């Protein structure tokens, strides 16, 4: 199985990288962009055969190490 984790800043947390990218897109003529938020994606190959147990384990990984849950949210997709 594969876990795909998308981590992104919570709403209300300043995203300077997103703001800089938004400004650059504006400068390049891409005027239809309302907002840009930059995040990260982590892909983990798992040995588990049980999708529910794998998702629980990945949540623990995120809460313990992968995401700073004070300022970041995350989504998990198990494939």
Report the distance separating Cα 70 and Cα 61, nearest Å.
Answer: 15
| Chain mean position to CA 9 | 8
Check residue 37 and give its pLDDT.
Answer: 96
Q: For 55-68, how does the pLDDT look when each residue is reduced to its tens digit (9 = 90+)? A: 999 999 999 999 99
CATH of 2-78, one of 3.40.190.170, 3.30.1280.10, 3.40.50.300, 1.10.287.130: 3.30.1280.10
Check residue 30 and give its pLDDT.
Answer: 95
Check residue 59 and give its pLDDT.
Answer: 98
Check residue 67 and give its pLDDT.
Answer: 98
* Annotated domain spans of the chain: 2-78
Q: For 4-57, how does the pLDDT look when each residue is reduced to its tens digit (9 = 90+)? A: 999 999 999 999 999 999 999 999 999 899 999 999 999 999 999 999 999 999
Check residue 60 and give its pLDDT.
Answer: 98
Report the distance separating Cα 4 and Cα 35, nearest Å.
Answer: 24
Q: What is the sign, positive or negative, of the torsion defined by CA atoms of 20, 25, 29, 31?
A: negative
Query: What's 52's DSSP letter?
Result: H
Check residue 17 and give its pLDDT.
Answer: 97
């Amino acid at each position: 199985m594969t876990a795909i984790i998308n981590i992104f800043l919570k709403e209300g947390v300043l995203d300077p990288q997103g703001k800089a990218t938004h400004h650059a897109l504006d400068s390049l003529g891409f005027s239809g962009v309302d907002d840009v938020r930059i995040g990260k994606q982590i892909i983990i190959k798992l040995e588990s055969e049980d999708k529910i147990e794998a998702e629980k384990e990945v949540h623990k990984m995120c809460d313990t190490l992968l995401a700073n849950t004070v300022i970041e949210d995350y989504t998990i997709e198990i494939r």
